[in-house]
Structure 1
């Protein structure tokens, strides 16, 4: 059985987006007369999404007027960063060559993310990548950990889910991949604040480097 497609989570898996979030969140804190947070503290929260980062920086809960106002300010500032072409987000080391290998071998690849489409789509040109499928929460009724987004990506790539791999740095990625009947790979270079949570996710495989990933892939199909 041949491998037909590889799907990636975006933030913390394929792309290091933390530098943008660190810059935006700490700029907000300074403007609100608070000291910047340690970069590592913000980095470990990125996969939780915008709400978790705002909660980290300012406290409060979604639905509270002050929190919702800060959330909108955060999203506006992040959007300004991405749309202006000033993003510092980069592919994690090794993915340039790995994606080129996929193209050479005729393996389709795409991105399935919980990042809103307006941000995810705007990042692609600055990263110089063109995924054959980019599925965001805007495109489905239920985002990850539901399997709908992953199955939609398979439809777009004309790939069988059982011949598709999904990589992620969050438990919801692994759950979504499992629910979609895909081979799941947890990546250890992502954003999480627990010392070693990955083994508890029960992914099919765990990789610590892109070199290890490149060695693993030929053995799976």
Structure 2
């Protein structure tokens, strides 16, 4: 891929900007033990699917008669797990470099707003750094449906041709394609190359450094974590 000069760069959150695997699993583990008196994950539940699902969807599978109660417990537990959230090395530098270059980074995530703001706080990136933040509350449909990305484009006043989407999962690739947007998939997040390649992203990179290069940003030595 030739480095893109596109002004609008839309990012997924989990697995792209921040590594929340341990925090998410920690929250579910707490809720399952305290509310369901069971271990997490259940034997029949593939953990790989976990990061593409909203908590309410997870609880609809395991306890459909207690969705609201368990979802509330998950929201209460998440702030207790923020010590497990990590920002990927070089991400802050990349976001700030885009802003310095006069470009507009945004976030489009399936995650709820409250937990998105918690994660950005841990990452040390102020929400106002982003031109647009689209979260689970903003659309009925979630990725892989294009609705969240299309809403992000609308709020940013951008056309798909002048934007690019960055994400770490098959759902991100499919959503970007359905929105007619160029897409960069990253394999350093929740999904490896073998899970991403079959969906044919426009570009597939294995590190934040390679992502920066794909976006036309040259990372300097000594990036922060």
Counterpart in the other structure of 1:26? 29
Match of 1:57 in 2: none
User: Can you give the 5+ residue segments of structure 2 that lack an aligned partner in the other structure?
Assistant: 218-225
Counterpart of 2:11 in structure 1 is 8
**C-alpha distance 35-61 of structure 1, shift in aligned 2 (>3 A):** closer
Question: Could you tell me how far 1:64 is from its partner in structure 2?
Answer: 2.5
CA distance in 2, matches of 1:100, 1:120: 18
The worse-fitting range, judged by mean Cα deviation, of 89-98 and 4-13 is 89-98
User: Runs ≥4 in structure 1, deviation > 6 angstroms?
Assistant: none
Secondary structure of the residue aligned to 2:215 is helix
Within 5 Å, which residues of 2 pair with 1:100-179? 100-129=96-125, 130=127, 131-179=130-178
- Structure 2 vs 1, CA of residues 47 and 158 (structure 1 numbering), >3 Å: closer, same or farther? same
CA gap 1:33/1:136 in 2 versus in 1, 3 angstroms: closer
Cα deviation for residue 52 of structure 1 reads 6.3
Aligned residues: 206
Q: Tell me how far 1:30 sits from its aligned partner.
A: 4.3
Q: Following superposition of structure 1 onto structure 2, how do residues 79-90 of structure 1 map, counting pairs within 5 Å?
A: 80-81=79-80, 86-90=82-86
Instruction: Look up the SS of the partner of 1:47 in the other structure.
Output: coil
Q: What 5-or-longer segments of structure 1 have no aligned partner?
A: 55-59
1:98 aligns with 2:101: no
Query: How big is the shift at 1:183?
Result: 0.7
2:195 to 191, 194, 197: 197
- Cα offset for 1:216? 1.8
TM-score (norm 1): 0.78
- Residue pair 1:186, 1:206 contacting (<8 A) in 2 also: yes
TM-score normalised to structure 2 length: 0.77
Contact kept, 8 Å, 1:62 with 1:68, in 2: the verdict is no
C-alpha offsets along residues 83-113 of structure 1, whole Å, 9 cap, x if unaligned? xxx4432321111211121012111001000
